[in-house]
Amino acid sequence: MNNAANLRRRATHSSVVRFAALTVLTVLASSTLGAQTGPSLPLKYPATPRGVQSDDVGGIHLADPYRWLESVTSPEVHNWLAAQDAVTEMYLSQVPRRAEHADRVRRFALYPKLSAPFGGGERLFFFENSGLENQPALYVQDRRDTPARVLIDPNAFSNDGLIAIVDQSASPDGRYLAYAVSTQGSAWREVRVRDVRSGQDLSDELRGIKDSPLSWTKDERGFFYIRSGGGTAPPANPLAPDGRPRLYYHRVGQKQSDDRLIYEAADHPDWQLHVDVSEDGEYLVIAARSGAGTEAPNRLYFIDLDNPKHPNLGAPLVKLFDTADALYEFVSSDGPLFFIRTTKDAPRARVVAVDINSPDPDHWTTVVRETYDPLIGALRVDDRIIAHRLHDAHSVLELYSFDGGARGVVPLPGPGIGTVAELHGRSEDREFYFTYSSVLQPPSVYRYDLDGKSAIPYRSARPDTALSQYETTQLFYTGKDGTRVPLFITARRGIALDGTHPTLLAGDGAFQVPNTPTYSPLVAAWLETGGVYAVANVRGGGEYGRAWHDAGSGARKQTSVDDFVAAAEFLIDQRYTRRSLLAISGRGNGGLLVGAAMTQRPDLFAATLIDAGLLDMTRFNRFAGGAAWTREYGSPDTPNDLRTMLAYSPLQHVKAGTAYPATLITVGDHDEVFTPVSSYKFAAAMQASQAAQAPVLLRVQQNVGFGPSTPLEKELAIAADRLTFLSSVLHMVR
């Protein structure tokens, strides 16, 4: 990482300017842009050399002329990126009211940001950002009746917010807090341990960790974690594939080199591991799955920590469910009785009670039944199971007793429909906390008391963002094959359906992740600017359970694209907007969705926003954790799968001489999840092929990854750039 940063810094401003000025491929004529909204000077793209690289996969010829852009640490790539950024900045700097757009985004981000508290003994921990700090600080309340104090402020680690806390776990009695930090947007983490009473870190420093829970033993002597590859240092190449995960136990105060290897699946290097210690401290529960996604089928194992061999962590591994035929998610335990959320014989999931001494499904007891509304999460609090369901893609919280009896519904804040994003509580308590948001309401934290049966704001009332004149409506449209698909539309109350409204359509549709209504400062600013915001719940997501996902994954991925195109056509047919005012947006897997839609139907859209997109389906499995995505999409190394992916892969669908929508591609240079190379290659191909006078721009943010570590200042800057870009290419004058 440091070498990459140094190389970038050595690309001086003068060399960047010379490079940008001397390389010309395409001239963008500004005459097509509105006189009041577009830049007045033509822009020149940097020259992008085409190589002769090609591959053969089972007789399928794959040309890859921009393969050299995968060498992300090379000076040539750094110079090219700097030149691309210079062109993008030149364009955006000429858009009138750019400063107003930035101010508007910041205003809608200026509210207290609070996380749902989590407990350790009598202590409560939570994150809070009072407004516009780059990173939220971690607070602790030693008791419920004492004031909170700052335990860790990551803003003190770095002046520019490039060091962030990305995971944390309190020991059972709240004596220690293990926390993971990310530097410069990296997906790799360093874990430290803080003594909560003194506020000082211990000597512990753990490395070689990418995405791992930190699960304490009941005696507070240590915790379990997962190393990627088993080493203690990230790979020299930041895009190198992840290594085989290994589960370790760390004893507080000892060196990482003394940590004990607990489990690895040596014969299955593609498995992903997740680990929990039951609240009573009796069991270490291990979930293993061959593929990414928390809803993917998995195996479930456990180790009895009460076994006499526990002091040496040598107790045997028990394979509770060793066939990955369904989801098996550990929720809680009561002695040898495990509460498990599962899709076994329940595609939309249920919670069952399983006696680990007799785990055959014939002996299960259903605690939370399967319904039409998929069960996407469950939490045990005292003698209740809190069930988080989705009803037509928005959150519902229900209560159940252990005998399966329904015990009411948790009232969620109104008005409107929204999303529960966090759900925290402990089996020993009679209360739990959750975070709730909607398109028109920033995330707010609520406390629900099982005895009082009411949800009240935690610490403060929800923030007011002056969006009362807007409303979110859910409609349903018909997909290409006749399927009924949900669509959320947020617009000013009483909007006239006359086809005159700039509209931003978003989607995702992958890994069974639902796309539910949530708040975004960019979307709020877009609404105030006069826009309409729509979210299509295309197949491939988890809005209606496993069948909804399966209908838009693997060999059926084109269905997601067809659903998205149908949503765009619906918005036009219903006269919310017209083609010349319709923009689309997607991030990560959503970037794949909108990239496929715009390359298949470039006539349908006026603008496209792609953030950290998955745009080259022929090589995603060669970088970072991409190998784990083959269960979702198929393997590029298998000819039949490759043929399916080539039918929609955005990069391979870019055709010379085609009039494409105006496009802004944004990416973080340290993104080790959706690696930036496919964005680089897609931008190069689009710029070389664009036959229209609409711009194709690449914005690269330095020291930014895909996860939650991005400094708020950088998040707001890129949001302002997107709003500025849309205001220009859609000729918005407000």
Higher pLDDT, residue 34 or 168: 168
Highest mean pLDDT among 7-16, 52-61, 189-198: 189-198
Element (H, E) at 679: helix 677-689
Helix (H, G, I), strand (E, B) or coil at 171: coil
Q: Is the pLDDT of residue 5 over 50?
A: no
Q: What are phi and psi of 510, to 5 degrees?
A: -155, 155
DSSP letter for 552, please: T
Q: What are phi and psi of 653, to 5 degrees?
A: -100, 0
Closest CA to 498 of 423, 565, 572: 572
In this prediction, residues 389-400 reach a mean pLDDT of 97
pLDDT digits (tens, 9 = 90+) for 564-597: 999 999 999 999 999 999 999 999 999 999 999 9
Q: Is the pLDDT of residue 309 over 90?
A: no
* Residues paired with residue 285 on neighbouring β-strands, in sequence order: 276, 302
Q: What are phi and psi of 578, to 5 degrees?
A: -140, 170
Give the pLDDT band of residue 10 (cuts 50, 70, 90): very low
Higher pLDDT, residue 413 or 394: 394
How far is the C-alpha of 557 from the C-alpha of 552, rounded, in Å? Answer: 5
Q: Is the pLDDT of residue 133 over 60?
A: yes
Q: What is the mean pLDDT of the chain?
A: 91
Please spell the DSSP secondary structure of 276-312, one letter per residue: EE-TTS-EEEEEEESSSSTTS--EEEEEETTSTTGGG
Q: Is the pLDDT of residue 225 over 80?
A: yes
The CA-atom distances, in angstroms, between 334 and each of 357, 407, 631 are 13, 20, 34
Closest CA to 658 of 694, 683, 682: 694
pLDDT digits (tens, 9 = 90+) for 79-130: 999 999 999 999 999 999 999 999 999 999 999 999 999 999 999 999 999 8
Q: What angle do CA 333, 339, 341 make, to 5 degrees?
A: 140
Instruction: State in Å, rounded, how far the first CA of the chain is from the last one.
Output: 42
DSSP letter for 658, please: B
The two three-digit tokens of residue 113, written as one number: 């940001």
pLDDT digits (tens, 9 = 90+) for 240-250: 777 789 999 99
Contacts 24+ apart (CB under 8 A), 55-58: 55/618, 57/618, 57/636, 57/637, 57/639, 57/642, 58/638, 58/639, 58/642
Three-state SS string across 317-364, please? Answer: EEEEECCCCCCEEEEEEECCEEEEEECCCCCCCEEEEEECCCCCHHHC
In this prediction, residues 602-616 reach a mean pLDDT of 97
Three-state SS string across 605-667, please? Answer: CCEEEEECCCCCCCCHHHCCCHHHHHHHHCCCCCHHHHHHHHCCCCHHHCCCCECCCEEEEEE
How far is the C-alpha of 124 from the C-alpha of 147, rounded, in Å? Answer: 11
Q: CB of 184 within 8 A of CB of 162?
A: yes
How far is the C-alpha of 164 from the C-alpha of 153, rounded, in Å? Answer: 9
How far is the C-alpha of 427 from the C-alpha of 440, rounded, in Å? Answer: 33
Give the pLDDT band of residue 43 (cuts 50, 70, 90): confident
Give the pLDDT band of residue 466 (cuts 50, 70, 90): confident
In this prediction, residues 202-221 reach a mean pLDDT of 94
Please tell me the predicted confidence (pLDDT) of residue 23.
Answer: 35
List all residues 6 or more positions away from 209 whose beta carbon is below 8 Å from its beta carbon.
180, 188, 189, 190, 191, 225, 226, 227, 228
In this prediction, residues 710-714 reach a mean pLDDT of 94
Helix (H, G, I), strand (E, B) or coil at 671: coil
Please tell me the predicted confidence (pLDDT) of residue 42.
Answer: 60
Q: Dihedral through CA 400, CA 295, CA 188, CA 671, nearest 10?
A: -120
Helix (H, G, I), strand (E, B) or coil at 246: strand
**Assessment of whether the complete model's pTM goes beyond 0.85:** yes
List all residues 6 or more positions away from 217 whose beta carbon is below 8 Å from its beta carbon.
223, 224, 249, 277, 281, 305
Please tell me the predicted confidence (pLDDT) of residue 707.
Answer: 77
Residue found under tokens 């379990």: 224
117 cis-preceded (ω within 30 degrees of 0): no
Give the pLDDT band of residue 34 (cuts 50, 70, 90): very low
pLDDT digits (tens, 9 = 90+) for 678-702: 999 999 999 999 999 999 999 999 9
Could you give the percent of the chain with pLDDT greater than 70? 92
How far is the C-alpha of 734 from the C-alpha of 722, rounded, in Å? Answer: 15
Q: What are phi and psi of 248, to 5 degrees?
A: -125, 160
How far is the C-alpha of 471 from the C-alpha of 125, rounded, in Å? Answer: 34
* Residues paired with residue 373 on neighbouring β-strands, in sequence order: none
Domains, the chain, in order of start with CATH, read: 2-107+578-729 (3.40.50.1820), 153-236+243-325 (2.130.10.120)
Give the pLDDT band of residue 708 (cuts 50, 70, 90): confident
* Residues paired with residue 41 on neighbouring β-strands, in sequence order: none
Q: CB of 706 within 8 A of CB of 623?
A: no
The CA-atom distances, in angstroms, between 78 and each of 10, 46, 281 are 9, 12, 50
